[in-house]
Structure 1
Amino acid sequence: MNNTSPRPKRREARRLAMLATFAQLCTSYSMDETLELLTTMNPQWAQLPDFTKELAKLVDSHRPQLEAEIQSVLEHWRLERLGLVERSLLLLGAVEILHKADIPPRVTINEYLELAKLYAPDQAPAFINGVLDKIVKKHGKPDFEIRSARTP
């Protein structure tokens, strides 16, 4: 049986959504224009995964709410002072936590920590973990509460 799947894995879809969000933060392009540019940059991206497009468009359509949500849990930081990679990862993590009820929060946090380890400065994964953790706690997401209630 062939191990290659025509459908990219969600981590790759998240990585591409991070690239799209990052690119949009750097430019004045709409998200549709940004996604179109991504598809022309690399032949492998000619068909972006639906999950990539969904996440990028969710961030785009809810960005003011997401930025306010992130800012509300930041301590001694202003969102606009964060690096663009960190901002992109936080926006995507927040949109999954707040708008993708089918994805457990711990899965979301873990996925964005893995991307932070690859693309952000060394201290970023712990920072991103803390911010996303606070958003989960603030909204009382069930998956997180069950995990927190366990004894070691």
Structure 2
Amino acid sequence: MADSALNLKILTRSAVAAAIPTLYSWCDGRSQSGTESIERTLLRARRIRAIPQAYIPGVGHVDLLIGDRLVIECDSAKFHEGYGSERDYDRDLRLVSLGYLVVRLKYRHVVYEQDTVEPIILELVRSQQHLWSRGSGRSRGRAIAI
């Protein structure tokens, strides 16, 4: 909720720091949805840094970027009709053509199925596929739909 309040400019960073000083460092107003905030904090708990709303030239902003090339897109019913959005397909194809790895998560994956999602993301990071130097380079990529 603090991420949303920051994003919507309902609260300032200093107000959030005063209200929840022990959690303040976990808040990030760049997150644009609850599922993004949840996934980002779950990754942070595993010491994986995910940048919210990272800008990728030729694509635009992505929900979360891990390392150089692992994109996590968090879909919710409010903005997506499942994984059928034409815009989502086009963006994923563009990302893959640029060499990015794409993991698209639904609300249920983030909230109820972390036991399935977490090992996949952890393996991509452990094997350093989230980095250009270890990945397939900018000429190729692959999409991972869960």
Q: What TM-score comes out, normalization by structure 1 length? A: 0.33
The structure that is helix-richer by fraction is: 1
Q: What TM-score comes out, normalization by structure 2 length? A: 0.34
The structure that is strand-richer by fraction is: 2
